[in-house]
């Protein structure tokens, strides 16, 4: 599953073959079919494992006792750090595996699409809750937390996707500061972390 996740993230679902996955995992192709009926089944299993790990991390970062703007910045900083680590290893910005996988196979596999929707909806809700909590504390201007949460999530998705397309790590260096500016945070970034 690790081999599938890494290859799909680095290349794409369509570009990765079962042979390549088996080769990276160091197993014979026949072993693959002992555990999985298809590449789609393996992708679903790998995505589930990734999601369980990421969900636990997201719940820790977005815990209610963490100040709301710090939640947002910590998550964005974590995502940018992971992208930059991958860039050092592979020479390319990989973007978010969920955005990439979701946009690539949205019409091909309902199971994967359903899980992608769940993951994206959870992320958007976490951002929205943090925005609402920050607004209640007077740290963000405006009243529409749902809209600002969606805009913040779209900014995150779009920036990671654009960084992948352009293979440009520079787009990630100020992710938190740009996000705080976009949502009208009144608290200076230095005071957030």
Q: Where are the domains of the chain?
A: 52-192
Count of Cβ atoms closer than 10 Å to residue 109 Cβ: 19
Global pTM reads 0.87
The pair of three-digit structure tokens given for residue 75, joined into one six-digit string = 């998550």
- List residues bridging with 185 in a β-sheet: 140
Q: Note the helical H segments in the chain.
A: 2-10, 18-25, 29-35, 39-61, 68-90, 97-105, 110-136, 145-166, 175-183, 189-192
**According to the CATH classification, is domain 52-192 in 1.10.357.10?**
yes
Q: What is the pLDDT of residue 156?
A: 96
3-state secondary structure of 28: coil
Q: What is the pLDDT of residue 173?
A: 95
Provide φ and ψ at 184, rounded to 5°: 75, 40
Q: What is the pLDDT of residue 32?
A: 84
158 CB-side CA count, 13 A: 8
Residues of the chain predicted below pLDDT 70: 187-193
């Amino acid at each position: 599953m690790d081999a599938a996740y890494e290859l799909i993230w680095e290349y794409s679902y369509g570009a990765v073959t079962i042979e390549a996955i088996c080769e990276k995992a160091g197993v014979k192709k026949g072993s693959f079919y002992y555990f999985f009926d298809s590449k789609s089944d393996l992708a679903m299993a790998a995505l589930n494992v990734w999601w369980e790990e990421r969900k636990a991390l997201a719940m820790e970062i977005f815990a209610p006792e963490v100040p709301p703007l710090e939640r947002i910045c910590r998550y964005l900083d974590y995502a940018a750090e992971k992208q930059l680590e991958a860039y050092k290893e592979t020479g390319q910005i990989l973007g978010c595996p969920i955005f990439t996988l979701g946009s690539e196979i949205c019409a091909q596999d309902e199971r994967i699409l359903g899980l992608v929707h769940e993951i994206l909806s959870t992320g958007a809700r976490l951002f929205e809750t943090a925005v609402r909590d920050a607004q209640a504390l007077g740290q963000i201007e405006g009243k529409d937390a749902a809209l600002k949460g969606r805009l913040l999530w779209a900014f995150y998705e779009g920036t990671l996707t654009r960084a992948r397309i352009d293979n440009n790590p520079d787009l990630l260096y100020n992710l938190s500061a740009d996000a705080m500016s976009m949502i009208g945070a009144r608290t200076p970034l230095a005071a957030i972390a």
